[in-house]
A = this chain, B = another copy of it.
Amino acid sequence: MSNASSSSRRAFLATAAAGAAHVWIPRPLKGYSTAEVIAMTPVTPMGSGVSKWDLDTPALCVDLDKLDANIAKMQAALRRNKLDSRPHAKTHKCAAIAKLQMSAGAIGICAAKLSEAEAMVAQGVDKVCMTTGNLSPNKIRRAMQLRKQAKDFIQAVDYEPNAHDLSAAAKAAGVVADVVIDVAVGTRSGIPAGEGALALAKLVDRLPNLRLRGMLSYDGGAQHINTFATRKERTLKNIEENARTFEAMKKAGLNTEIFSGGGTGTYNVQHLVPGFTDVQVGSYVFMDMQYLAIGGEDGNAVYTDFAPSLTVLATVVNNRFPGRLTTDAGAKALTLNVPHAGVIGEPGMDYNAGSDEFGTITFKAASQTYQMGDRLELIVPHCDPVVNLYDYIYGIRKDRVEVVWPVTARGHSQ
A interface residues (Cβ-Cβ under 8 A, vs B) = 1-6, 8-9, 24, 26-32, 34-49, 51, 53-54, 56-59, 90, 95-96, 112-115, 118-119, 122-123, 132-133, 135-136, 138-139, 142, 158-159, 161-162, 187-192, 220, 315, 317-318, 320-321, 324, 326, 328-329, 331-333, 335-337, 343-346, 355-358, 360, 367-368, 370-377, 382, 384-385, 388-392, 395, 399, 402-406, 408, 410-414
Contact = CB atoms under 8 A, between A and B. Distances in A.
- Name A's interface SS: loop
Contact of A374 (B3, B37, B367): B3
Contacts of A412: 43
A358 B189 contact: yes
B357 A132 contact: yes
Contact of A355 (B122, B220, B324, B414): B220
A396 B413 CA distance: 20
Contacts of A3: 368, 370-371, 374-375
Contact of A335 (B320, B333, B335): B335
A326 B335 CA distance: 22
Contacts of A112: 356-357
Contacts of A43: 115, 118-119, 412, 414
A286 to B, nearest CB: 14
A158 to B, nearest CB: 8
Contacts of A337: 331, 336
26 contacts: A1-B343, A1-B377, A3-B375, A5-B371, A5-B373, A26-B47, A29-B45, A40-B408, A42-B115, A43-B414, A56-B414, A58-B413, A112-B357, A113-B357, A135-B372, A136-B315, A136-B373, A158-B318, A187-B324, A328-B414, A332-B385, A336-B337, A357-B413, A388-B389, A389-B413, A410-B411
A48 B30 contact: yes
A112 B377 CA distance: 22
Given A9-B373, A317-B189, A27 B41 contact: no
A377 B27 CA distance: 25
A188 B318 contact: yes
B31 A315 contact: no
B188 A403 contact: no
Contacts of A395: 31
Contact of A30 (B28, B373, B374, B403): B403
A338 to B, nearest CB: 9
Contacts of A370: 3
Given A5-B374, A368-B1, A192 B320 contact: yes
A367 to B, nearest CB: 7
Q: Which 10 A-B pairs have the closest CB atoms?
A: A1-B345, A4-B53, A31-B404, A27-B47, A135-B373, A5-B373, A336-B336, A30-B403, A38-B38, A37-B406
A54 B189 contact: no
A118 to B, nearest CB: 5
B29 A38 contact: no
A293 to B, nearest CB: 17
A392 B318 CA distance: 34
Contacts of A391: 37, 411
A360 B188 contact: yes
